[in-house]
Amino acid sequence: MEKRNERRVILFPLPLQGCINPMLQLAKILFSRGFSITIIHTSFNAPKSLDHPLFTFSQIEDGLSETQTKSRDVLLQLTLLNNNCEKPLREGLAKLIKPDSDSGTTEEMKISCLIDDSGWVFTQSVAESFNIPRLVLCAYKFTFFLGHLLVPQIRREGFLPLPDSEAEELVPVFPPLRKKDLVRIMGKSGQVEQLDSYLVKILETTKPASGIIVMSCEELDQDSLAESHKVFNFPIFPIGPSHIHDVPASSSSLFEPDQSCIPWLDKRETRSVLYVSLGSIVTLTESEFLEIACGLKNSDLAFLWVVRPGSVHGRDWIESLPLGFIESLEGKGKIVKWAPQLDILAHRATGSFLTHNGWNSTLESICEGVPMISLPFVWDQLLNARFISDVWRIGIHLEGRIERREIERAVRRLMVESEGDEIRERIKVLQDEVRRSVKRGGSSSRSLDELVDRISSF
C-alpha cells in the first residue's frame, strides 16, 4: 500500500447495486495508489461503511418516500434522485471543503476531483461551482454507453412502429443489437419523453467533464473506444474489469449473501453445477418463475438458484413452488435469497451461469471462464447478451423465451453436449485476454496509470 499523498478523491455512486459495486471497486484501486477516499452517498441503498473502514463516508438526504424506495420503476427513481439531490450534494461538498469550527477541524481539504456515475445529471454544474474537476464513471460496456445516447435521435427518425418482418434485423448505428432488442431498450410508451430527456441530459453533462472512467477494457470494447472521439474530446480510461485488480477484497453487496453456498458447492463435481441469478433489479411473473423452476428440475442437473425476496410478483419468496418441489430435487438443487457471486463463479464446481447479463455479472463470468445462458430483461442487458451469443460466442441466448423446455434444452446444450465444450474453449481464450489486461503492461494497467497521472495533475 502506498503512502497517502494528501490528495482526496470524492466519489458519488448512483444508489443501485450495479453502480455501487464498480464505484467502490474504483475507490479501492485509487486508495491503493495513495489517494484518500471520501464516499458521498444517499440514504437510499446506502453502502455498508463498516465493510470499508479505510474510507470516509458522508450521507446526504435523497428525499425519497418509503413508497418511492420500493418502486420497481427505476427510471422514476433516477428522475426523483436527480431532482432531489443537487442541494444536499452542494451542501455536503461545502462542508467537506471548508469544515466548520464545530467539527474540530478548520483546515480546508485538498480535493483532487469528483468522480460520479454517468446517471447523475446535475453534478457537472455543482463541481464547476467549487472549481473541482469532474470525472464520469461509466458502469456499462462502453458500446452501450455510446449507443444508448442515440436513442432519442433514433426515435425522432421514426424507428417505431416496427414491422414484425424486421425484428431480427441488426441496428446499423447500435451493433450488434437487433431491432427487437432496441424496441425493449427504448422503453414503455408512457416513459418516452421522460427517458429521452434523461438521455439528452446525460450527454449534455458528460461532454464538459474532464474524462470518462470505463469499467471495461480494450479487449472487450476496442471498436467503441476507437469511435469515442466522434462524441467526446477528453481522455477515456478503460481500466476494467475493476474487481480483478490487485487490491484487497471487500464486499459492497446491499444484500446479505448466504454463505452456505460454498460448502454445498464443495460437495459437487467439477463443472457440474448451473448457477442461476438474475441480479438485484429483475422481477418475474409467477408463471415465468415456475417455468424456470421446471426447466431447471427437468434438466436433471445440479443447480444453485438465487431467488431474491420480492422478485416474484405478488409473492414474498418461493412459496409459488409446487408442493414437494424441493424434496423432488433429491439434493441436486439449492435455492438461496442472495449469494456470494464472485466466490461461486470462481468455484471449480460451477459449470455455467444463467444470467440477466448485467455488465458486472457478465464481466465476472468472463473473468472466471464460466459460459453463460443469457436471459436479458432491460437496458444494457440486451446488448451484453448479443455480445455473449453473437460476437464472442461464449454462451447461449434464450431470446426471451422463458419456457421450461427451452431452459432445459439450453442447460443441457451448455453443460452436457459438445457445443458446450466449444463454447468453454472460446471463453477460456477471452478470459486469458481480459485477465492479462490488468497485469503490468496490459491495456487496463496502462490506462489506470494514465488515470492516476490525470487525477494527480488536477
What is the pLDDT, as a whole number, of residue 187?
A: 82
Mean pLDDT of the chain: 93
The pLDDT-based confidence of 106 (bands split at 50, 70, 90) is very low
Using an 8 Å Cβ cutoff, are 47 and 20 in contact?
yes
Compute the distance between CA of residue 339 and CA of residue 276 in angstroms, rounded to an integer.
10
Per-residue pLDDT tens for 368-416? 999 999 999 999 999 999 999 999 999 999 999 999 999 999 999 999 9
Same domain? For 54 and 119 the reply is yes
Same domain? For 336 and 214 the reply is no
For the chain, what is the domain count? 2
Count of CA atoms in the C-beta half-sphere (13 A) of 91: 9
Per-residue pLDDT tens for 284-315? 999 999 999 999 999 999 999 999 999 999 99
Phi/psi at 115 (nearest 5 deg)?
A: -115, 120
Give percent of the chain above pLDDT 70.
96
Could you tell me the maximum CA-CA distance found in the chain, to the nearest angstrom? 70
Report cis status (omega within 30 of 0) of the bond before 241: yes
Distance of CA 209 to the CA centre of its chain: 22
Same domain? For 73 and 203 the reply is yes
Distance of CA 311 to the CA centre of its chain: 18
Which grid coordinates are listed for 327?
A: 424434496
Distance of CA 26 to the CA centre of its chain: 13
Find the CATH number of the domain harbouring 413: 3.40.50.2000
* Host H or E run for residue 274: strand 273-277
The SS3 of residue 227 is: helix
Same domain? For 16 and 156 the reply is yes
Residue 256, in any domain of the structure = no
Instruction: Give helix 404-415 / helix 286-298 axis angle, nearest 10°.
Output: 40
Per-residue pLDDT tens for 221-253? 999 999 999 999 999 999 999 999 988 776 788
| Single-letter amino acid, residue 222 | Q
Residue 388, in any domain of the structure = yes
Residue 275, in any domain of the structure = yes
Compute the distance between CA of residue 344 and CA of residue 181 in angstroms, rounded to an integer.
29
Per-residue pLDDT, averaged over 32-40, amounts to 95
pLDDT of 190 > 90? The answer is: no
pTM value is 0.94
Same domain? For 409 and 444 the reply is no
Same domain? For 144 and 167 the reply is yes
Which residue from 201, 200, 212 is spatially nearest to 82, judged by alpha carbons? 201
Same domain? For 307 and 359 the reply is yes
Same domain? For 308 and 390 the reply is yes
Distances (CA, A) of 456 to 34, 118, 152, 330, 450: 10, 22, 37, 58, 10
* Host H or E run for residue 119: none
* Host H or E run for residue 114: strand 111-117
Same domain? For 231 and 326 the reply is no
Domain that holds residue 357: 261-435
Same domain? For 122 and 266 the reply is no
pLDDT of 330 > 50? The answer is: yes
Same domain? For 32 and 172 the reply is yes
Residue 252, in any domain of the structure = no
pLDDT of 125 > 80? The answer is: yes
Same domain? For 405 and 355 the reply is yes
